[in-house]
Chain A
Amino acid sequence: MISLASAALALLVLQVVLVAFAAAVRPNANIYLTIVIISLVTTPVASVSDTILLGQTLSRDGRVFMALINLALGGFLFHFMTLPDRSVTLRILVELLIAPGAVLSAEGLRRRYSLRTMIASRLDQLTAARFMEVSADQRITLTRKGLWFGRFVTTGRKLFGIASAN
């Protein structure tokens, strides 16, 4: 078990280092796509390096398990990345951290991280991901993908009884 835990840790560190390196080389690339690619690329390494990572040879099933462990670790990294990358709450905390004396007024916070900036940025990303189109006169048209996503969120909220959010 200790050797397995060490192997899993080594695989996770490998993925984290490769993702950080790729993000440094291409900072504007989609970080989630980067994680998926690196997770897939490192999976064959994980499945055939049993003697290096564990000190003994695994059966065919054992190698499949190692491959799935590597993919699962990539999945955790994917989820982890949504926190600093997407979370408005964490961004608020960071704005407070870098403010003089770690203190801000609500107005000061709004100036640094305004509602318009937040919404415009999300709309840009949703447009880039082809969930919607925004015309020159600021009209928003949901694409087929966007309508599907809107329906998915609406159905999910109904299913879980979420009345209002955001």
Chain B
Amino acid sequence: MIRLLLPLAGVVAFFLFSLITVRLLRPKQPRRFFLVYAVALLLVTGSVYVRVWPLDSLDASAGLVCCLLLQALMCLTLWNSFYSLLWGFSGGLMHDLYNDVDLRHVDRLIRSYEGDAGLDRILARRLPNLAAGGYIDLQGDTLRLRWKGRIIASGTLVAFKTFSLGMGGGIK
């Protein structure tokens, strides 16, 4: 069971590398760094594992798969915490409510999200990112879905139906 310390070490390294990168380099797209670190650390863990515990039995192989899956899951959890909790909508609401007592009223909170030039804070950040990622065409006031966005949206729609998620986006 001591081999389960390997994914633990891996995720601690992932956290530290990610933190140092975000704090010092301040990249525009931290996820690219996160992905490189996650993959590299999985390779390191796999390599260390087979040196210490050669794959001479099914138990050893199960241990390797287990370590890699656990490490990947923990890295994904940190990654998701970064994007969904710290950057996400609900996390953002809680941040605003915690730090600004004046916003602790539904109408005032909603007004704080309304933008000056038509787009609210939610759309103003997401639409340019979707356009830059090639998911939509954003021309003036018109949004057009591109093939890349169509694939993602179709998959999402399938997930909505398969798991009875309503219309998603945080709304049942």
Contact = CB atoms under 8 A, between A and B. Distances in A.
A48 interface: no
Nearest to A102: B145
Contacts, number: 278
Nearest to A112: B167
Main secondary structure of the interface of A (DSSP, over half): helix
A76 B143 contact: no
B58 A90 contact: no
Contacts of B23: 160-161
A79 B23 CA distance: 25
B143 A103 contact: yes
Interface residues on B, range: 35 or more
A33 interface: no
> What is the interface residue range for chain A against chain B?
35 or more
B167 A69 contact: no
A23 interface: yes
Contact of B87 (A1, A75, A165): A165
A20 B160 CA distance: 10
Given A90-B168, A115-B114, A150-B99, A4 B61 contact: yes
B167 A91 contact: yes
B163 A97 contact: no
Given A61-B59, A166-B89, A160 B22 contact: yes
Contacts of A23: 163-165
Given A96-B149, A126-B94, A138 B157 contact: no
B52 interface: no
Interface of B: 1, 4, 19, 22-23, 26, 55, 58-59, 61-63, 65-66, 69-70, 72-73, 76-77, 80-82, 84-95, 97-99, 103-107, 109-110, 113-114, 118-123, 125-127, 129-130, 135-136, 141-145, 149-150, 152-154, 156-157, 159-160, 162-172
The 5 closest A-B CB pairs, nearest first, are: A150-B98, A91-B169, A62-B59, A166-B92, A97-B153
